[in-house]
A = this chain, B = another copy of it.
Amino acid sequence: MTDSWATLPSSAVPGADLHLDLGTLSGPGLRVSLIGALRDAVRTGRLAPGSRLPSSRSLGADLGIARNTVAQAYSELVAEGWLTARQGAGTRVAERAPEKAAALPPGPRPAATRGPRHDLRPGRPDLSAFPRAQWLRAARRALGRAPDDAFGSGAPAGRAELREALAGYLARARGVRARPEQVVVTSGVGHGITLLARALTRRGTGTVAVEAYGLEIHRRLLVEAGLRTVPLPVDADGADVAALDAMPDVGAVLLTPSHQFPTGVALHPDRRAAAVRWARRTGGLVLEDDYDGEFRYDRHPVGAVQGLAPDQVCYLGTTSKSLAPGLRLGWAVLPPALAADVAREKGEIDWTTGVTDQLTLAELITSGVYDRHVRTMRARYRRRRDQLVEALARDSPLARVTGMNAGLHVLVELPAGDESAVAQGAAWQDLAVHGLARFRHPDAPADRDALVVGYATPSPSAWSGALEALCRLLP
């Protein structure tokens, strides 16, 4: 079977290409083949209803067949009702809906998805606040002046413009100490953890300590890379770093020092120093997940642990909270000894972080727009935090709110044993909220009942309804 392919000017898509299966291109079979091919294209919807076909002269020229042959094929299909021909309007596909091709098996219909009415799940920002206009302006400036080779395969560590902008921004805003060469562009914290997990196994690490409460996907990524995870207890001062001394097999520890996820406490300064001492003493690595470090509401902000020990700490960050999860854009700042290895690892196997978004984020940062956006959102989320704390104090005095000094979520502690009942009650109210249990390490004791309430999630119009639903829910 020989295929031919012609360019059909289509009213829907000017200049579109159309591919036709014409079978053997010779003799009387040709007209029949053309009829069959056009009919098939209409029937399966590849030629859309109402779209205009080329003149018989030009389609004939494209396919290398006589004009008359095409004209006859068109007439036949008009007679069959697949095409219409009107003086001055050319030959067009008829408006009736084509049958679907029988050969394609019926597939599963996509599940109807209607989100919950109220959404207070943690881990996402207010999507309506994504700064579209500023993003587009930055994209225009960035793409306008990028060199041609920016659109090539590029270095696995990412675009130099972005690595430099990130090094400067993180130094200024988070106390991170690193040169651009230590920055690897990632598609988020999870991606960074995956890259580091591979580096750790290559170094011979077998076990990673993780906080007793944390994202299950992060634990899973470590395990998928062949590592074991052991939980560190978490209390009001954060992860119990001293427990590492009794874990000689542990080669790395994954922490959320600025705002423990999900309990919300800051890692006590003594423990930050202890983590660094542990790493220096044992040669272990600290993996610092700074997922919401820009969002701090009190007077005593917490800089990155990385600034205390650039040689021992891998600092992971993301635009998932400050801009939007959909960008899939983050960074890893690595000890100099690791940076080249991790970049190479990324380049061999991962293809992430398209260049357009990298250039745009770099421009957003260097122009100051990113900083201003973060400040705006910080103020907005602080107001929500205040409204939440106030509403709960007023309406649900039994619920104790903690971890409120930063980030986009709080922990609402519940009376012992109440968590699953409250979660069930939430489902009845069509309120999506997460209990603490889903974040607990499988080997950690169930030592408290709580809800993890993400107050950034609702759009401005949905906020008060969500807050009311939460207050109705809690004792």
Query: Can you list, as one digit per residue, whether each of A341-379 has a CB less than 8 Å from chain B (1) or not (0)?
Result: 000000011111111110010000010100110110000
Query: Can you list, as one digit per residue, whether each of A97-141 has a CB less than 8 Å from chain B (1) or not (0)?
Result: 000010111011010000100000000100110101001100110
For the complex, what is the distance from the CA of A325 to the CA of B351, rounded to whole Å? 10
Are A352 and B351 in contact (CB-based, < 8 A)? yes
How many copies the complex holds: the figure is 2
For the complex, what is the distance from the CA of A150 to the CA of B127, rounded to whole Å? 8
A221: min CB distance to chain B, Å = 7
Q: Does A233 lie at the interface of the complex (its beta carbon under 8 Å from any beta carbon of B)?
A: no
Are A177 and B366 in contact (CB-based, < 8 A)? no
Are B326 and A153 in contact (CB-based, < 8 A)? yes
Chain B's closest residue to A126 (CB) is: B148
> Which of chain B's residues have a CB closer than 8 A to the CB of A311?
105
Known: A136-B140, A177-B104, A328-B353. A299 touches B64 (CB 8 A): yes
Known: A1-B269, A127-B148, A179-B104. A371 touches B153 (CB 8 A): no
CB contact between A151 and one of B130, B144, B187, B368 (< 8 Å): that residue: B130
> Which of chain B's residues have a CB closer than 8 A to the CB of A4?
299-301
Assign chain A's interface to a size class: 35 or more
Q: Does A66 lie at the interface of the complex (its beta carbon under 8 Å from any beta carbon of B)?
A: no
Chain B's closest residue to A308 (CB) is: B1
Q: Residues of A at under 8 Å CB distance from B?
A: 1-5, 7, 13-19, 21, 44-47, 64, 101, 103-105, 107-108, 110, 115, 124, 127-128, 130, 132, 135-136, 139-140, 143-144, 146, 148-154, 171-175, 177-179, 181-182, 187-188, 190-191, 194, 217, 220-221, 224, 269, 273, 294, 296, 299-303, 307, 310-311, 324-329, 336, 339-340, 348-357, 360, 366, 368, 371-372, 374-375, 459
